[in-house]
Structure 1
């Protein structure tokens, strides 16, 4: 029987609530604290709905990873005027992306908490969180046309992602890193200026 009207809306609301609860628990307790019974209890539902709607806990975690509450969309990273990207030099394009990534995750403290837990755990559930971040980055770099072929883009991307993510995680528990105040916007402005300096140096404008 096809669900219509209130029944369909009720299902969507329950699915949304289950996804929301997964994010809350992951942020607070990490992956080891996550279980079907705990999710169902906090959501106020029978655990059978986790299996009925998603197939199981890994699939529910995967569904959460696809939400913008967890990870910024390509549209968010591109900003309000994505066409302006074509006017930037390779270094400016790269810096634009990583500064957008930095700002987007700073707006998501729960995501930073989850990344912290993810670094300390490695299991089937943590692997569900890897697809969307990787895909979003690939989608961004696929639209770039000016990156020089004599530069190892993959290596630069891995290093930048690692450095920025590490700083974001440290900022949840540590105020100063290398003398830079991560509790102050001036400190983050210094980080962004550093991103500009590094990437414009690696990918200089030869035009």
Structure 2
């Protein structure tokens, strides 16, 4: 009987945690990040706000966990990367095109990205740091050994491409639908952007191979 009671408590805790995380998503979607107050989160979840502190340690930690669950680069695990036989060329293209599609389809992530440039907050800094740690792992394992003395150049190019992906997806549908004449709201426009990302990566690797 005691084991069943313990198992039941664990399930109740997990359900309550999920309700809190879902509540953060709902509020972010309807009110934006300014609506993420402890009382509003608890009311939306239908769970006593004291449980936020019991389960997460506080509102910031709850928001941290929600953001981390959405963030693309925080969930990229270098240990699960496919076998690299080309210095990471195909894997780089795969990651960039997947990021583009992921950000394009996730409105709440877009709001979090805007929040990250509009307000200084520990929870957002933590996620930025997590992105950097995961990115560093990928660079160390895949690109740096291949590019050697040109590794920083590869990193700089990736920084431009990744930030460009964020900006294009934040830009579309807010003040305009086209960028450089490309309709970003249409499948054809998205394919053009993803094709350009792949082309740039190919050129980076081709240029490196010519030098070596």
Under TM normalisation by the shorter chain, which class is it? Answer: 0.7 to 0.9
Map of 1:130-149 to 2, 5 A cutoff? 130-144=128-142, 145-149=145-149
| CA 1:128–1:30: 2 relative to 1, 3 Å | farther
**Structure with the bigger percentage of helix:** 2
Task: String of CA shifts for 1:46-67, please: whole Å, max 9, x gaps.
Answer: 1111111111111111111332
In the other structure, the counterpart of 2:198 is 196
Q: Tell me, in whole angstroms, the C-alpha distance in 1 between the residues paired with 2:21 and 2:88.
A: 38
Q: Tell me, in whole angstroms, the C-alpha distance in 2 between the residues paired with 1:181 and 1:48.
A: 47
Map of 1:146-161 to 2, 5 A cutoff? 146-152=146-152, 153-161=154-162
**Higher relative contact order, chain-length normalized (CA < 8 Å, sep 6+):** 1
Query: Normalized against structure 2, the TM-score is what?
Result: 0.81
In the other structure, the counterpart of 2:179 is 177
Q: Aligned residues, how many?
A: 201
**Greater Cα offset, 7-16 or 99-108:** 99-108
Q: Tell me, in whole angstroms, the C-alpha distance in 2 between the residues paired with 1:143 and 1:129.
A: 21
Within the candidate set 108, 111, 134, 1:110 is matched to: 108
Within the candidate set 38, 45, 55, 1:53 is matched to: 55
Gaps of 5+ in 2: none
- CA RMSD of the aligned region, Å? 2.7
In the other structure, the counterpart of 1:167 is 168
Could you list the structure 1 runs, at least 4 aligned residues long, displaced by more than 6 angstroms after superposition: none
CA shift, 1:133, in A, is: 2.8
In the other structure, the counterpart of 1:101 is 99
Query: Normalized against structure 1, the TM-score is what?
Result: 0.82
Contact 2:64 2:124 in 1 (8 A): no
Task: String of CA shifts for 1:30-78, please: whole Å, max 9, x gaps.
Answer: 33221111100111111111111111111111111332x44363269x7
Q: Tell me, in whole angstroms, the C-alpha distance in 1 between the residues paired with 2:104 and 2:205.
A: 26
Q: Tell me, in whole angstroms, the C-alpha distance in 1 between the residues paired with 2:160 and 2:166.
A: 10
Gaps of 5+ in 1: none
**Greater Cα offset, 196-205 or 6-15:** 196-205
